Amino acid sequence: MKKPEVLIVGAGIAGPALAYWLARNGYRPTVVEHARQLRSGGSAIVVKGPAIPVAERMGIVPRLREVATRNRSLTLLDPDGKRVLRLPTSSEGSPTVEVTRADLSEVLHRTARDDAEFVFDETVTALDQDEGGVDVTFRRSAPRRFDLVVGTDGMHSTVRRLVFGPERQFVSDLGLFGATVPLEPDAIDDPSELTMLTAPNRMLVVHPSRTTPLAIFTFRATRPEPHDRKNIALHKQTVADVYAGVRWRAPELVAAYLDHPAPFFDPLTTVRMPSWSRGRVVLLGDAAAATALLGDGSSMAMAGAFALAEELASHHDDHVRAFAAYESRLRREVRPRQRRVGLLSRLMVPGTRSGLLVRNTVGRAVGLTSRETADAKTG
Ligand SMILES: Cc1cc2nc3c(=O)[nH]c(=O)nc-3n(C[C@H](O)[C@H](O)[C@H](O)COP(=O)(O)OP(=O)(O)OC[C@H]3O[C@@H](n4cnc5c(N)ncnc54)[C@H](O)[C@@H]3O)c2cc1C
């Protein structure tokens, strides 16, 4: 019998994970990625919660442990750079594992690449579906017909725009921005220590990562507008302006940001959609339901990939029921996380000195769950 053909758009975290599970469930996956190679950007993320059993079943936990960051503690600094408290960020025997986003993407891709066709430097330009399939037009390759299409193309999903409508309908800003830049290895003294300075409306983190430390700027601002997303000069100016009065290592870290040819910059947003599928097209990962700030996106993407492949296998020939079952399973995980985002953003980046004082006092009292704090760096 001919295997159903599924087009997966985006080879970040959700894309390769889904390709792996679909291939195991009797589907023929093709993954297109618009970048020329796997994207290498991103901070460290924690594989946790529902992603752990998925990683175990994929057999990738030993490899993830090999490439885990060495981050063991978090030091919080006040606006003057003075130490407020120090917390452990990992505990012996914990099943969670912190890796860089790039390492996770690479491990997932290696696991899936023999069973799926991966096409880089490619994207979709039109999706036209009927009762029996989806006709797909690509930027470079010849048009092809697929049984199903899955949009795993992240926060600014093209599949979502083509099938469901413009991004602004589904995205809510938290009023925060995330900006990151890689640093030279000698920019840190202790590879096991993550340092976080918080001033009103601004946070600055130095993360040791694994091989390349990272400076992470998370701040509240009213600009730039969404249409300025590709304006690198404006991003640099914004970071320079927002961190102008900040002490500690801010001048040196801002200089590193300004020196980089294409540093990361994006508003921190959540994606909320009334439905994740339309006909034969379904969304997965950040494209469907980004949970900015929590750093949970990768774990949600892995859990979602497993759930979608499993539901397609158990509702063979009935993608409508499969998509509905997948969505209802995943929404149970996503909903509570999205509800926490607003509160967490105010806790992470308080707007005033008194808010900061309260945050630090409460943090000391309750041992501010270090895992959450460490995970919520840039979203
Ligand atoms: C460069 C980068 C850095 C990130 N840094 C962090 C971080 O530091 N902390 C954090 O918590 N989260 C970060 N994220 C988001 C995090 O990866 C996601 O929350 C999570 O992994 C969900 O995975 P995803 O596969 O849905 O989306 P993503 O990991 O965003 O992957 C989407 C993929 O789709 C590709 N793509 C986009 N548009 C198209 C298109 N039109 N056609 C084909 N392919 C397309 C992208 O290049 C990317 O490879 C980052 C994402 C990226 C892309």
| Residue 269 near ligand 1, beta carbon < 6 Å | no
336 has a pLDDT exceeding 70: yes
Handedness of CA 11, 29, 116, 141 (dihedral sign): negative
When pLDDT is averaged across residues 239-247 and rounded to a whole number, the result is 94
Partners of residue 138 on adjacent β-strands: 124
CA 44 – CA 201 distance, rounded (Å): 22
The number of the ligand 1 atom at minimal distance from the alpha carbon of 288 is: 26
Per the CB < 8 A criterion, the answer to whether 70 and 210 are in contact is: yes
H or E element in which residue 320 lies: helix 319-348
Tell me the C-alpha to C-alpha distance, in Å, between residue 222 and each of 167, 322, 353: 19, 41, 20
The number of the ligand 1 atom at minimal distance from the alpha carbon of 153 is: 34
Which residue lies with its CA nearest to atom 41 of ligand 1? 158
CATH number of 173-269+348-375: 3.30.9.30
CA 14–ligand 1 middle distance (angstroms)? 9
Tell me the C-alpha to C-alpha distance, in Å, between residue 117 and each of 6, 136, 143, 293: 11, 16, 16, 32
* Range in 62-71, 127-136, 159-168, 317-326 with the lowest mean pLDDT: 62-71
| Residue 15 near ligand 1, beta carbon < 6 Å | yes
CA 132–ligand 1 middle distance (angstroms)? 30
What proportion of the chain, given as a percentage, has pLDDT over 70?
A: 94
CA 157 – CA 147 distance, rounded (Å): 20
| 295 vs 268: which has the higher pLDDT | 268
| Residue 41 near ligand 1, beta carbon < 6 Å | yes
SS3 call for 5: strand
Query: Which DSSP state fits 40?
Result: -
The number of the ligand 1 atom at minimal distance from the alpha carbon of 13 is: 25
Mutate to test the pocket of ligand 1, among 45, 282, 284 (most ligand atoms within 8 A of CB): 45
SS3 call for 92: coil
| Residue 375 near ligand 1, beta carbon < 6 Å | no
When pLDDT is averaged across residues 321-348 and rounded to a whole number, the result is 91
When pLDDT is averaged across residues 155-176 and rounded to a whole number, the result is 94
**Of 184, 191, 190, 240, residue with least CA distance to 217:** 240
What digits encode the pLDDT tens for the residues 274-299?
Answer: 999 999 999 999 999 998 766 789 99
| Residue 16 near ligand 1, beta carbon < 6 Å | no
One DSSP character per residue, 232-285 reads: HHHHHHHHHHHTTT--TTHHHHHHHHHHSSS-EEEEEEEE--S-SEETTEEE-T
Highest mean pLDDT among 204-208, 266-270, 342-346: 204-208
Which residue lies with its CA nearest to atom 49 of ligand 1? 12
Quote the mean pLDDT of the chain.
Answer: 90
CA 271–ligand 1 middle distance (angstroms)? 13
| Residue 151 near ligand 1, beta carbon < 6 Å | no
When pLDDT is averaged across residues 230-251 and rounded to a whole number, the result is 93
Where in the chain are the domains?
Answer: 5-69+95-169+270-341, 173-269+348-375
Domain 5-69+95-169+270-341 CATH (choose: 3.50.50.60, 3.20.20.70, 3.40.630.10, 3.30.429.10): 3.50.50.60
| Residue 11 near ligand 1, beta carbon < 6 Å | yes
CA 26–ligand 1 middle distance (angstroms)? 26
The number of the ligand 1 atom at minimal distance from the alpha carbon of 375 is: 11
At 357 the pLDDT is 84
Which residue lies with its CA nearest to atom 19 of ligand 1? 297
Confidence band for 237, pLDDT divided at 50, 70 and 90:
very high
| Residue 379 near ligand 1, beta carbon < 6 Å | yes
Handedness of CA 109, 110, 112, 116 (dihedral sign): positive
CA 174–ligand 1 middle distance (angstroms)? 18
What proportion of the chain, given as a percentage, has pLDDT over 90?
A: 67
At 292 the pLDDT is 73
CA 71–ligand 1 middle distance (angstroms)? 23
Confidence band for 226, pLDDT divided at 50, 70 and 90:
low
**Angle at the Cα of 41 from the Cα atoms of 28 and 339, rounded to 5 degrees:** 80
CA 103 – CA 167 distance, rounded (Å): 28
Mutate to test the pocket of ligand 1, among 9, 13, 141 (most ligand atoms within 8 A of CB): 13
The alpha carbon of residue 103 and the mean position of all alpha carbons in its chain are separated, in whole angstroms, by 13
